[in-house]
């Protein structure tokens, strides 16, 4: 919401609230951003001086503020404080951060059907709480709807009236915004909850097309079209057009009830959120709980030829499983498992399924990728661990054979060297006995020498 500096004529303190910025001005008065001593921010509206001098307006305004205190709902701005006896009556509501629906559409263009239905379901729930309190808003329009991070919020109950009250502040003067007023408001008839249903239908049509369903023009032209001409819904999506047309019926009895409208919009929001026109609601927790959750994200979904291919794959996966989905041209084809592969001669002969890939849900070893040295990569289990495949078992067998052969060769060499004598074979030098000084001359182990 745009903020402006306070002007010289603007008050700085109203009641117990200090004013900081201007939030806007309307037919009832000026809205300011204020805060109390605890730092709580509020949107405070001060009534215009000419309306403050009208005793009839004061009395009706007092009744409506009393009724607004009874409104309990998450889709409305809660009333915080009010002073009806001041020279210029004022009331303060909870400040809602976020852009208005009017500003959002004006900047980003029409919203998707999923977004419109989600916002409409939340607003209808808010109107249900308002109507249960015996109050009719009477001026529901895109600029009076704020898109907060927690969902859309209805604001500005400054001209709300009790059910059945007249719609004229002065004779011949209608209160509200042309293009969003109901025909009974223009005629000066009593307002009912159906009056807000008409305004909500016009607001949602604006959200779909970025234009009023009664076009543009002067106030007189717009009011005439509201009473005598049908609403133009050419740009409204087919999913919402019939429902919005019933909301914009000239006769209040032909419009849906607030509860019925809420239920139907929830159904449309759920259907459109998972259809081709909208993305899935992320972490959704009810209609309107974060209006941006229904926003379409083109980068998350395929478009054009990819979208057709994606839809065909989903359709094929949803069948009885007789055929596998056709792979995307830009992706390598996934290896088929053994269950879908026709039985070959090896499997028919009853060979080991591990070697032929005949076991269900397991690929043949030939389909596994290989490394630089030709060794296959290990199989990864569903639990994230590794289990040895046939390649690792073959490697282990080769290592064992190599070790055994090496040991046998070493033992053979040792045995061959041992046959040549212990001194040579084992490299151990044994002392040669020497004949004693008085011994004979026959040599070792001779007559003159004793065997040690």
Residue 411 domain flag: no
pLDDT at 419 (0 to 100): 58
Residue 158 domain flag: yes
H or E stretch at 69: none
Q: What is the pLDDT of residues 75-85, one digit of tens each?
A: 888 889 999 88
Q: Judge contact between 110 and 210, C-beta under 8 A.
A: yes
pLDDT at 421 (0 to 100): 54
Name the domain boundary from 95, 128, 147.
Answer: 95
Residue 139 annotated as catalytic: yes
pLDDT at 313 (0 to 100): 61
pLDDT at 228 (0 to 100): 94
Task: Mark residue 8 as left, alpha or beta (left: phi above 0; alpha: psi -120 to 50; beta: remaining).
Answer: alpha
Catalytic residue among 83, 85, 132, 139: 139
Number of domains the chain is built from:
2
Total Cβ atoms within 10 A of residue 46: 23
Token pair recorded at residue 134: 């015996």
Domain that holds residue 181: 97-309
Residue 25, beta-bridge partner list: 30
DSSP string, 216-263: S--HHHHHHHHHHS----TTS-TTTHHHHHHHT-SSGGGSPPHHHHHH
Total Cβ atoms within 10 A of residue 83: 16
Residue 172 domain flag: yes
pLDDT at 304 (0 to 100): 52
pLDDT in tens, the chain (452 residues): 568 899 999 999 999 999 999 988 877 789 999 999 999 999 999 998 888 889 888 887 887 788 778 787 778 888 899 998 899 999 998 898 889 999 999 999 999 999 999 999 999 999 998 898 888 888 899 999 999 988 999 987 655 554 444 443 333 344 567 889 999 999 999 899 999 999 999 999 999 999 999 999 999 999 999 999 999 999 999 999 999 999 999 999 999 999 999 999 999 999 988 765 444 433 333 444 444 544 444 434 444 555 566 556 656 655 444 444 444 444 444 544 444 444 444 444 444 444 444 444 444 444 444 444 444 545 454 444 455 455 778 888 889 999 999 999 998 888 887 755 554 444 444 444 444 444 444 444 443 444 43
CATH of the domain at 174: 1.10.510.10
Same domain, 133 and 84: no
Please state whether the predicted TM-score (pTM) of the whole model is above 0.85: no
Same domain, 196 and 52: no
Residue 359 domain flag: no
CATH of the domain at 52: 3.30.200.20
């Amino acid at each position: 919401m745009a903020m402006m500096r306070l002007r010289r004529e603007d008050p700085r303190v109203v009641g117990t609230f200090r004013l900081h910025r201007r939030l806007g001005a309307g037919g009832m008065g000026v809205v300011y951003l204020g805060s109390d001593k605890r730092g709580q921010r509020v949107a405070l509206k001060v009534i215009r001086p000419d309306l403050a001098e009208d005793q009839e307006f004061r009395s009706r305004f007092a009744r409506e503020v009393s009724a607004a205190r009874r409104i309990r709902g998450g889709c409305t701005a809660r009333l915080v404080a009010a002073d009806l006896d001041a020279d210029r009556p004022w009331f303060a509501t909870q400040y809602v951060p976020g852009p208005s629906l009017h500003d959002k559409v004006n900047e980003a263009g029409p919203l998707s059907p999923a977004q419109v239905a989600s916002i409409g379901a939340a607003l209808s729930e808010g109107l249900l709480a308002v109507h249960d309190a015996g109050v009719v808003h009477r001026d529901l329009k895109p600029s009076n709807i704020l898109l907060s991070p927690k969902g859309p919020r209805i604001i500005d109950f400054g001209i709300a009236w009790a059910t059945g009250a007249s719609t004229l502040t002065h004779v011949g003067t209608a209160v509200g915004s042309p293009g969003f007023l109901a025909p009974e408001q223009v005629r000066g008839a009593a307002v009912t909850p159906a009056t807000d249903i008409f305004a909500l239908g016009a607001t949602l049509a604006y959200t779909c097309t970025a234009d009023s369903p009664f076009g543009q023009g002067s106030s007189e032209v717009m009011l005439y079209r509201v009473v005598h001409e049908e609403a133009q819904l050419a740009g409204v999506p087919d999913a919402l057009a019939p429902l919005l047309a019933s909301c914009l019926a000239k006769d209040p009895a032909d419009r849906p009830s607030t509860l019925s409208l809420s239920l139907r919009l929830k159904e449309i929001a759920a259907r459109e959120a998972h259809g081709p026109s909208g993305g899935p609601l992320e972490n959704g927790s009810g209609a309107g709980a974060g209006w941006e959750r229904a926003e379409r994200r083109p980068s998350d979904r395929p478009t054009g030829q990819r979208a057709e291919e994606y839809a065909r794959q989903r359709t094929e996966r949803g069948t009885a499983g007789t055929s596998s989905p056709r792979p995307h041209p830009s992706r390598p084809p996934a290896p088929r498992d053994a269950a879908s592969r026709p039985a070959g001669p090896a499997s028919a002969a009853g060979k080991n399924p591990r070697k032929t890939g005949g076991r269900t849900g397991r690929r043949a070893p030939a389909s596994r990728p290989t490394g630089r040295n030709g060794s296959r990569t290990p199989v990864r289990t569903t639990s994230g661990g590794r289990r040895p495949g046939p390649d690792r078992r073959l490697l282990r067998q080769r290592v064992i054979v190599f070790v055994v052969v090496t040991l046998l060769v070493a033992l053979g060499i040792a045995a061959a060297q041992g046959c040549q004598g212990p001194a040579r074979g084992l490299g151990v030098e044994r002392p040669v006995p020497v004949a004693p000084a008085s011994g004979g001359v026959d040599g070792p182990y001779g007559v003159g020498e004793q065997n040690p």
